[in-house]
Amino acid sequence: MKRLLSLIIGLLAVCGLLAYTSQSLEKSSGSTGSKVLNLYNWGDYIDPNLLTKFQKETGYHVNVETFDSNEAMYTKINQGGTHYDLAVPSEYMVSKMKRAHLLQPLDKSRLTGWGNFDQQFLNQPFDRGNRYSMPYFWGTLGIVYNDKMVKASEVQHWDDLWSPKFRDKIMLIDSARDIMGMSLVTLHKSMNTTDPQTLLAAEKRLNTLAPNVKAVVADEIKMYMIQDEAPLAVDWSGEAAEMLAGNSHLHYVVPREGSNLWFDNLVIPKTAQHYNAIYAFLNFMSEPKNAAQNAEYIGYATPNKKAKALLPKSVRDDQEFYPDQKTIDHLQVYRDLAPNIVELYNDRYLEFKMHH
Amino acid sequence: MRAVTKRRTWLYFIPYGLWLALFVIAPVALIIYQSFFDLGHHFTLGNYSTYFQSATYLKMTLNSVWYAFLITLFTGLISYPTAYFLHQLKHRQFWLLLVILPTWINILLKAYAFIGIFSQAGLANQFLTFIGIGPQQILFTNASFIFVATYIQIPFMILPIYNSIDDLNPAFVNASRDLGASNWQTFRRVIFPLTLPGVKAGVQAVFIPSLSLFMLTRLIGGNKVITLGTAIEEHFLTTMNWGMGSTIGVILIVAMIIVMTLTGDKKPKGGAPR
């Protein structure tokens, strides 16, 4: 009994000490008070040096909280009780949040860096006139291959994945919209189709890919590809950039016939409170020098034209991550589909996963 | 006097009652409530009719039950002898601690460790290459999924069985021997029936969580094994169809009740804490 009691007291003392230390640490870094900005971002999706620089230049301290899916972020902002000043949803989620009245319009008169952006990444269907969103990064969906096991000429198109020589060799990213979308491209259909028959055909087409599919996994794909576990993967360009950094035999291809073009965007949710900090941050991040630094750190493609010009030539001309105009013209942006259509995509996709 | 004690007992019950209401009854009631709503927040029985009319969901349920059954079976086959021999050992508390030790480690970490062991360049394949078989595809197979799930569940099966063996009065075993029963007869007629409550508790502790494993199906099974857990995750996180996700949740709760009734203890005896 005595030992139990001292154990409990000990535990409480440790907890108290930890709470005190973390609080005093927070105080010294100045996260309480009005000179703050609460940023709700994907994990490891901003160069931490930029946050320090921002604080030095403007005096605003940035609190970063992270999420791992658009849906999780949506749920948290929608349920309230949070005080995020800026969030970073993907394009379809921008329209969804817009419809749910969770966003506040951008005050363009307070934005100084708008002219730095490449026109072709503005005014997209998910947010016409960019009333609510400022593009942060863009990217594609493509094929990652290992040149030790696969020749570049063998995987230039989606259809190549169906080749019988790739039996049990492909890893797919576990995302209904992207994998169904890939299948739709090979059927020469829109990645935003709402026709149940077309989606059924896309599932049938995927079922014929099943013998080639080694696994349907998520973030772990990066680790597997770096460790040579599989020669081929279908994944997003951002993930691919990290893989390429970890294994020099890996390469990334965006099939010319079409693929997804995605955007992550900075938006102001309804929960925002610190407007001066928000606009200071948006302007800071659209400065070419800072955007370029961020792009080099993250490895994704920046929509900031002037920032791109500042990147090293080897990055700028990298066909893998800044594809040529012809390829870009064939890329499709996901539209926010009605919930019952999203459900249809997922049901068909689930059936494909059950198939193998 | 009696009335006072009665009121006291009633007062003592308040914290437990509140706990049950808030953390057991309310969540279950919410899940059941949610399961009657469609995407547009209209009341409907459609989720249930979708479930029972969809070959996909029924097949998935079959899959879940089948894999949970296999996992429970293998866990049981390994755990019973282990618990039995553990009980005969000299420093049994120490050995028991070693069995429990892996449960202190987060399940995700264990899964990642197995990824390292089973991968193409992993330990298992290095061994296979060493003995001349050559590297095999181990990850993303049904066998590796069952192996890892069994490994993770084993402590939860060993503990209740061990406890029930511990509770067994050795006088019964001695009496059985004295009366001329063989070892096998003693085991079959005396030891096993008397330790059955432990096995039942173990089955409950293993079968029910196995029904809805979802991280392992992706990490180790590469989504080649799809269980109801996968579907629930997808409905709550991707399609945001909480109604359908809750419906599957209700089905799992019903499955749980069935398992509890089938393995339920009629006499509330048998020291098998869970």
Q: Do B39 and A340 touch (CB under 8 A)?
A: yes
Dihedral, CA of residue A270, residue A121, residue A277 and residue A308, to nearest 10: 160
Residues on A contacting B at a C-beta cutoff of 8 Å: 69, 71-72, 75, 168, 171, 174, 176, 214-218, 220, 223-224, 227-229, 339-340, 342-343, 346-347, 350-351, 353-354, 356
- 3-state SS, chain A, equals CHHHHHHHHHHHHHHHHHHHHHHHHHHHCCCCCCCEEEEEEECCCCCHHHHHHHHHHHCCEEEEEEECCHHHHHHHHHHCCCCCCEECCEHHHHHHHHHCCCEECCCHHHCCCHHHECHHHCCCHHHHHHCCEEEEEEEEEEEEEECCCCCHHHCCCHHHHHCHHHCCCEEEECCHHHHHHHHHHHCCCCCCCCCHHHHHHHHHHHHHHHHHEEEEECCHHHHHHHCCCCCEEEEEHHHHHHHHHHCCCEEEECCCCCEEEEEEEEEEECCCCCHHHHHHHHHHHHCHHHHHHHHHHHCCECCEHHHHHHCCHHHHCCCCCCCCHHHHHHEECCCCCCHHHHHHHHHHHHHHHHHC
Rg of chain A over CA atoms, in angstroms? Answer: 23
Contacts of A94 (CB under 8 A, 6+ apart): A103, A126, A127, A132, A133, A265, A267
Closest alpha carbon to A353 in A250, A216, A256: A216
Cα–Cα distance measured from residue A113 to residue A106, given in angstroms and rounded to the nearest whole number: 13
- Token code pair at residue B74: 């293998």
Q: Which of A90, A219, A347, A349 to mutate: most B Cβ within 10 Å?
A: A347
Q: Which residue has the higher pLDDT, A9 or A24?
A: A9
Closest chain B residue to A174, measured at CA: B223
Closest alpha carbon to A193 in A353, A352, A338, A351: A338
Whether the predicted pLDDT of B263 surpasses 90: no
**Count, residues in chain B:** 274
Q: What's residue B208's pLDDT?
A: 85
In 10 A of CB B48, how many CB atoms?
15
Taking the Cβ of residue B68 and every Cβ of chain A, the question of whether any pair is shorter than 8 Å is answered with no
SS3 of residue B69 by DSSP: helix
Cα–Cα distance measured from residue B185 to residue B176, given in angstroms and rounded to the nearest whole number: 9
By the 10 Å C-beta count (0-12 exposed, 13-18 middle, 19+ buried), B63 is classed as middle
Q: pTM value?
A: 0.83
Whether the predicted pLDDT of B67 surpasses 90: yes
pLDDT tens digits, one per residue of A20-48: 888 877 665 544 567 899 999 998 899 99
Cα–Cα distance measured from residue A89 to residue A39, given in angstroms and rounded to the nearest whole number: 12
The region that residue B201 occupies, defined by phi over 0 for left and psi between -120 and 50 for alpha, beta otherwise, is alpha
Q: CA dist B117 to A182, B100, B138, Å?
A: 32, 21, 9
Residue written as token pair 């009335």: B3
Contact present, A238 and A295 (Cβ < 8 Å): no
Q: What's residue B270's pLDDT?
A: 47
Contact list in A for residue B121 (CB cut-off 8 A) is: 227-228
Mean pLDDT of A231-252: 93
The response to whether A92 counts as a known ligand-binding position is: yes
Q: What's residue A23's pLDDT?
A: 80
- Token code pair at residue A138: 């863009």
Q: Which residue has the higher pLDDT, B2 or A256?
A: A256
SS3 of residue B37 by DSSP: strand
Contact present, B60 and B228 (Cβ < 8 Å): yes
Closest alpha carbon to A170 in B227, B112, B217, B222: B222
pLDDT tens digits, one per residue of B84-108: 999 989 898 899 999 889 889 998 8
Which of A224, A339, A354 has its CB closest to that of B39?
A: A339
Whether the predicted pLDDT of B271 surpasses 70: no
Contact present, A177 and A150 (Cβ < 8 Å): no
Q: What's residue B5's pLDDT?
A: 67
SS3 of residue B47 by DSSP: helix
Tell me how close the Cα of A57 comes to any Cα of chain B, in angstroms.
39
The dihedrals phi and psi of B238, each to the nearest 5 degrees, come to -100, -60
Partnered with residue A39 across adjacent β-strands are A64, A86
Q: Do A228 and B121 touch (CB under 8 A)?
A: yes
Q: Do B241 and A347 touch (CB under 8 A)?
A: no
Which of A168, A339, A347 has its CB closest to that of B137?
A: A168
Whether the predicted pLDDT of A338 surpasses 60: yes
In 10 A of CB B109, how many CB atoms?
9
Residue type, B187: F
Q: Which residue has the higher pLDDT, B193 or A1?
A: B193
Q: What's residue B274's pLDDT?
A: 44
Residue type, B155: P
By the 10 Å C-beta count (0-12 exposed, 13-18 middle, 19+ buried), A216 is classed as buried
Q: Do A71 and B237 touch (CB under 8 A)?
A: yes
Contacts of B262 (CB under 8 A, 6+ apart): none
Confidence tier at B11 by pLDDT (50, 70, 90) = confident
Rg of chain B over CA atoms, in angstroms? Answer: 23
Task: Tell me the HSE value of A179 on the side-chain side, using a 13 A CA sphere.
Answer: 30
What's the gap between Cα A354 and its chain centre?
27
Whether the predicted pLDDT of A226 surpasses 60: yes
Mean pLDDT of B224-229: 86
Q: What's residue B273's pLDDT?
A: 46
Q: Which residue has the higher pLDDT, A28 or B50?
A: B50
Closest alpha carbon to B163 in B261, B243, B18, B270: B270
Cα–Cα distance measured from residue A45 to residue A43, given in angstroms and rounded to the nearest whole number: 5
Mean pLDDT of B178-205: 92
- Token code pair at residue A107: 């005050």
